[in-house]
Amino acid sequence: MTTSSAPGKIILFGEHAVVYGQPALAVPVSQVQVAVTVTEAERAGVWIEAPGIRLSCGLDRLPPDDPLAAAISAVFSTLGVAPPPACRIEIQSTIPVASGMGSGAAVSVAVLRALSSYLGRPLDDAQVNRLAFEIEKLHHGTPSGIDNTVITYARPVFFMKGQPIETLRVGTPFTIVIGDTGIASPTRLTVGAVRAAREAEPERFGRLFAAIGEIVRHARDAIESGDAPALGPLMDENHALLQQLAVSSPELDRLVQAARSAGALGAKLSGGGGGGNMIALVAPHTGDRLARALSRAGARQVFISHVA
Ligand code: PMV
């Protein structure tokens, strides 16, 4: 039996602009996890159990472009294993689906690791990251690669498409509170809407993306120099720019506003937008209070995450 787990993630700054070559910052969120267990099976073939998405079937019943099937098949083809051994793959996840916490990438990473370890030939991080990126394309067309990267390396990252991975040194740990609107919003839809809007107004969108990129660079300096409070106003500015990209929603705006009214140092939507999650930066020891305020304002789930 082999088990592997992968954390969720949250984007601190730079979503959407990162698709167009700007940098973004993301951190792992270990309070939510995917755990994948591979065990020997008596019956031939590969059997999949994913109770969270009510999936219980053989690998041969899934279409090849199903992301889960693709992750499993990627291990067999990368390792040259044919025919697949009789085994049972069980996936348990506490990461909310389609809400910007990287559930798809985390499933891919944990499956790639658990299955390759089960076969006695564990894939290294670079292989896991590369294969998980290919699978991300099935989830949402033109991913930047930030999700698979932060989840594979499970470290805060400064990410730029096509550039070598840069992990971040966090000068002084800080706390963010994550509030889930409870509205599932597939990233593919908001990324597609931004693409269409950018085609209509390339110059305006170019300016918005560049302004977001500037915020990301300032945020990186603040994180590395231990000036976490400076991140608050940067979150507020980034949220305003995301509103201009039209990826916020009334529910996200309500939670962002509630966080600010309850004393957060700054707040923004996080991830694809349209629903999903927002984040707020809080002063030390005030996470619980802000979490309660977000729940009162309608957040379906709240996580307090320490970034270190
Ligand atoms: O956090 P998610 O999974 O919703 O990711 C969205 C991030 C985008 O920048 C909007 C898309 C991407 O591929 O980077």
CB of 185 shorter than 6 A to ligand 1: no
Please give the helix or strand (H or E) that residue 287 lies within, else none: helix 287-296
Is residue 186 pLDDT above 90, yes or no? Answer: no
Instruction: Look at residue 146 and tell me whether its pLDDT is greater than 90.
Output: yes
**Averaged pLDDT, 222-229:** 98
Contact between 106 and 26 under an 8 Å Cβ cutoff? The reply is no
Q: Distance from first CA to last CA of the chain, Å, rounded?
A: 32
pTM: 0.93
Nearest CA to 98 out of 191, 194, 5, 3 is that of 191
pLDDT band at 286 (very low <50, low <70, confident <90, very high): very high
- What is the rounded average pLDDT of the residues 200-216? 98
207, 190, 200: which is closest to 275 by C-alpha?
190
With a pLDDT cut of 70, the percent of the chain lying above it is 100
* 105 within ligand 1 shell (Cβ under 6 A): no
State the pLDDT at residue 227. Answer: 98
For residues 80 and 211, give the distance between their C-alpha atoms in angstroms, rounded to a whole number: 46
3-state secondary structure of 5: strand
Distance, CA 144 to ligand 1 centroid (Å)? 7
Q: What's the 14 CA to ligand 1 centre distance in angstroms? A: 9
Ligand 1 centroid from CA 20, angstroms: 12
Q: Of ligand 1's atoms, which has the minimum distance to the CA of residue 147?
A: 3
Residue 55 CB: number of other CB atoms within 10 A? 14
Q: Is 146 close to ligand 1, i.e. is its CB under 6 Å away?
A: yes
Closest residue CA from atom 13 of ligand 1 = 143
Distance from the CA of 209 to the center of ligand 1, in angstroms?
A: 14
Longest CA–CA separation in the chain, Å = 60
The residues, any chain, with a CB within 8 Å of residue 66's CB and separated by 6 or more, are: 138
Instruction: Tell me the CA–centroid distance for residue 12 and ligand 1, in Å.
Output: 11
Domain 2-159 has CATH 3.30.230.10: yes
The stretch 191-202 carries a mean pLDDT of 97
**216 within ligand 1 shell (Cβ under 6 A):** no
In this predicted model, what pLDDT tens digit does every residue of 248-280 receive, in sequence order?
999 999 999 999 999 999 999 999 999 999 999
Question: 140 falls in which pLDDT band (50, 70, 90)?
Answer: confident
DSSP of 38-76: EEE-SSSSEEEEEGGGTEEEEGGGS-TTSHHHHHHHHHH
- Beta strand residue intervals within the chain, DSSP E: 2-13, 24-40, 46-50, 55-58, 87-93, 157-159, 166-167, 174-180, 266-270, 277-282, 301-307
Q: What distance in Å separates the CA atoms of residue 118 and residue 90, rounded to the nearest whole number? A: 13
Residues 78-121: tens digit of each pLDDT: 999 999 999 999 999 999 887 789 999 999 999 999 999 999 99
Q: Which pLDDT belongs to residue 195? A: 96
Q: Which residues, listed in sequence order, are joined to residue 13 by a DSSP beta bridge?
A: 25
Does 30 have pLDDT greater than 80?
A: yes
C-beta separation of 278 from 268 below 8 A:
yes
Mutating to test ligand 1, I would choose from 29, 101, 138, 147 the residue with most ligand atoms within 8 A of its C-beta, which is 147
User: What per-residue confidence (pLDDT) applies to 111?
Assistant: 98
Distances (CA, A) of 130 to 114, 143, 152: 16, 12, 10
HSE-up of 160 (CA within 13 Å, CB side)?
11
Cβ of 14 closer than 6 Å to ligand 1, yes or no, is no
Weakest mean pLDDT among 148-152, 165-169, 292-296: 165-169
Indicate whether residue 151 lines ligand 1 (CB < 6 A).
Answer: no
pLDDT for 99 equals: 79
> Which residues of the chain are in CATH 3.30.230.10 domains?
2-159
DSSP β-bridge partners for residue 49: 56, 90
Residues 158-165: what's their mean pLDDT? 94
Distance CA 224, CA 220 (A): 6
Determine the pLDDT at residue 11: 97
The residue assigned the tokens 């990252």 is 157
Active site residues: 147
Asked whether residue 194 carries a pLDDT value surpassing 80, the answer given is yes
The CATH number assigned to the domain with range 170-307 reads: 3.30.70.890
- State the span(s) of the chain assigned CATH 3.30.70.890: 170-307
What is the CB-side half-sphere exposure of residue 11 using CA atoms within 13 A?
33
Say if ligand 1 is within 6 A of residue 144 CB.
yes
Q: 293 pLDDT band (50/70/90 cuts)?
A: very high
Average pLDDT taken over every residue of the chain = 96
Look-up: residue for tokens 């590369």?
Answer: 130
Residue with tokens 């969720």: 8
Give the pLDDT of residue 119. 98
The predicted structure's pLDDT at residue 82: 95
Helices 187-200 and 202-224: angle between axes, nearest 10 degrees: 130
Which ligand 1 atom lies nearest to the CA of residue 101? 1
